[in-house]
Amino acid sequence: MGIEVRTTLFQIGLLLAAISTSTAPAQTEAGDTNARAAQPRHEWLPASHESLPRWRGFNLLEKFDLEYSNGPFVEEDFRLISAFGFNFVRLPMDYRTWIVDGDWNQFNEEALKQIDQAVEWGGQYGIHVCLNFHRAPGFTVAHPREEKNLWTDEEAQRVCAMHWQMFAKRYRGIPSERLSFNLFNEPSGRMNGEQYAAVAGKIIDAIREVDPDRLIICDGMNWGTQPCEELRPLKVAQATRGYLPSPLTHYYAFWSRGSDLFPEPQWPAYVGNGFLYGPLKKEHATTMTIQCDLREESILRIHVNQVSINGTLSVLAGGKEIWRKEFLSGEGAGEWERDQYNHRWDVHQPIYDQDCRMSLPEGTKRVELRLVDGDWLYLREIAIRPAFDPAQAEHVFYLDRSWGQPQWECRYDPEDAEAPFKTMQRWDRDWLKANQLQPWIQLRDSGVGVMVGEFGAYRFTPHDVTLRWMEDNLRNWQEAGVGWALWNFRGYFGVLDSGRADVNYIDFQGHQLDSEMLELLRKY
pLDDT in tens, 26-64: 333 333 333 333 445 688 999 999 999 999 999 999 999
How many Å apart are CA 282 and CA 287, to the nearest integer? 12
pLDDT at site 432: 97
What ranges do the domains of the chain cover?
37-252+429-523, 269-427
Q: How far is CA 354 from the centre of its chain?
A: 29
SS3 of 160-183: HHHHHHHHHHHCCCCCCCCEEEEC
Partners of 275 in the beta sheet?
378
Amino acid occupying residue 208: R
Q: In angstroms, what CA-CA distances link 396 with 114, 200, 269, 385, 427?
A: 51, 47, 11, 9, 16
| Nearest C-alpha neighbor of 90 from the set 61, 110, 65, 67 | 61
How many Å apart are CA 60 and CA 318, to the nearest integer? 56
Domain 37-252+429-523 of CATH type 3.20.20.80 = yes
How many Å apart are CA 322 and CA 388, to the nearest integer? 19
| Nearest C-alpha neighbor of 8 from the set 382, 520, 456 | 520
Helix ranges restricted to H, 47-91? 75-83
pLDDT at site 257: 72
Q: Which residues of 144-155 are buried (b: 16+ CB within 10 A; e: fewer)?
A: eebebebbebee
Q: How far is CA 345 from the centre of its chain?
A: 28
| Nearest C-alpha neighbor of 476 from the set 431, 516, 514, 518 | 431
How many Å apart are CA 76 and CA 60, to the nearest integer? 12
pLDDT at site 267: 95
pLDDT at site 406: 83
How many Å apart are CA 211 and CA 197, to the nearest integer? 20
How many CA atoms does the CB half-sphere of 191 hold within 13 Å? 22
Type and span of the H or E element at 6: helix 3-22
pLDDT at site 368: 97
Q: How far is CA 54 from the centre of its chain?
A: 19
Would you tell me the crossing angle of helices 109-125 and 75-83 to the nearest 10 degrees?
A: 20
Q: In angstroms, what CA-CA distances link 407 with 99, 131, 287?
A: 51, 43, 7
Domain 269-427 of CATH type 2.60.120 = yes
**DSSP structure string for 401-466:** --TTPPPPPEEE-TT-SS-SEE-S-EESHHHHIIIIIHHHHHHHHTT--EEEEEE---TTS-HHHH
pTM reported for the whole predicted model: 0.84
Type and span of the H or E element at 473: helix 463-480
Would you tell me the crossing angle of helices 154-170 and 193-210 to the nearest 10 degrees?
A: 40
| Nearest C-alpha neighbor of 396 from the set 408, 377, 410 | 410
How many Å apart are CA 387 and CA 49, to the nearest integer? 62
Helix ranges restricted to H, 49-96? 75-83
| 419 touches 391 (CB < 8 A) | no
Q: Say if 37-252+429-523 and 269-427 have the same CATH topology.
A: no
Question: Which stretches in the chain have pLDDT values below 50?
Answer: 1-3, 18-39
Local structure of 491: helix, strand or coil? coil
pLDDT at site 189: 65
Amino acid occupying residue 312: T
